[in-house]
Amino acid sequence: MTIINNSKTDPNKILPMTYMWAREHYKTGVANNWTPEEVSMQKDVEQWKSDNVLSEEEKKMIMWNLGFFSTAESLTANNIVLAVYNHITNPECRQYLLRQAYEEAVHTDTFIYCCDTLGLDPEEVFNMYKTIPKIKEKDDFVVNLTQIVFDPNFKTDTKENIQKFLQDLIGFYVIMEGIYFYAGFAMMLALKRQNKMIGIGEQFEYIMRDESVHLAFGCDLINTIKTENPEVWTEDFQKESIRLIKESVELEKEYALNACPNGIVGINANQFVEYVEYIADRRLERIDLPKQYNTENPFPWMSQSTDLSKEKNFFETRVTEYQTAGNLDWEK
Ligand code: MN
Ligand code: FE
């Protein structure tokens, strides 16, 4: 049994399952269900419209993160539906990919909701991936890295093409969702810790919780392909993967320094740079590549949200709510 290029796989026959990790991630995704409208934006609207709560710099930082995430979510969704889904025919993996695609739709919806409630210009927000160079550079880097997999004639039938497919998975799961998202998460959650824009902050926490599962699925997928096709995981390919990840780290550092040049109360801009390095090392280790930075985590408080153990209060309330959702009384 193999996860790609298996002519015996029937994509419609999900039982019995081979890859139980895919099933686990699916169940975790369902247990984490949420929608943006559940989060009140009332206080955010007051703060956004007030002249003395947010500095101009904070407003710019918020706009940049809304701008980056608003389109990064659909770039990610497109990759799942238009590229990955074609080549991963294993049914339990496809079940997870469908779940992930839905979550990306929820994330995109979050930015629609933010535009609506805060009265932002959607043309401005959803165009920032073209108009803000530091956002465009990040997106272009991943898009260029992964373009070939979108070719309708692309097949994972040779060693080189499996490597290209792996590069797509590294581009979207490790770099986009695993590295590019995290300076923005740290900024928005740092702001929330100052009691500013707490509605958006909570939405970013939910998104981050989802993304940590996307990332885990992506790494399990990459590692499975590696294990089943060891000939593709050459020294050169590993070196090239490290080089790409390091290049993306540089782009993410520049993004952080430009989005938030003077930091946020109690945090200097360089700590966001350190955080990106710390996160990148964790991603490298997750796919069995050597750490490159050995930077300490400048924001230990972030791991309370990223490591997502169910005993955390924030998550417990949500998860419980949804786990009982099956018993809804429809008479009411
Ligand atoms: Mn997402
Ligand atoms: Fe995602």
Ligand 2 centre and the CA of 211: distance in Å? 5
**Domain CATH code at residue 301:** 1.10.620.20
Query: Is 113 a catalytic site residue?
Result: yes
Domain tally, the chain:
1
Ligand 2: distance of its center to the CA of 189 in Å? 18
Indicate which ligand has the atom closest to the C-alpha of 174: 2
Of 11, 14, 248, residue with least CA distance to 134: 248
Q: How many Å lie between the centroid of ligand 1 and the Cα of residue 204? A: 10
Question: How far does residue 76's CA lie from ligand 1's centre (Å)?
Answer: 7
Q: How far is the CA of 80 from the centre of ligand 1 (A)?
A: 11
Name the residue range of residue 142's domain: 55-315
The mean pLDDT value of the chain amounts to: 92
pLDDT of residue 303: 81
326 lies in some domain = no
Set 19, 96, 113, 129: catalytic member: 113
CA of 215 to the centre of ligand 2 (A): 7
Could you tell me if residue 187 is inside a domain?
yes
> Has residue 23 been placed in a domain?
no
pLDDT of 318 reads 47
- 57 has a pLDDT exceeding 50: yes
Residue 46: pLDDT band (50, 70, 90) is: very high
Average pLDDT over residues 281-302: 97
Q: Give the model's pLDDT for residue 305.
A: 65
Ligand nearest to the CA of 206: 1
- pLDDT of 16-30, one tens digit each? 999 999 999 999 999
pTM for the model stands at 0.92
Whether 325 is covered by a domain: the verdict is no
Distance 295 CA to ligand 1 centre (A): 26
Q: Is residue 194 part of a domain?
A: yes
List pLDDT tens digits, range 303-331.
876 554 443 334 444 444 444 444 344 44
Q: Which residues surround ligand 1, an ion (CB under 5 A)?
A: 73, 104, 107
234 is a domain residue: yes
Using the mean position of ligand 1's atoms as its centre, give its distance from the Cα of residue 213 in Å: 10
Residue 323 resides in a domain: no
The reply to whether 47 falls in a domain is: no
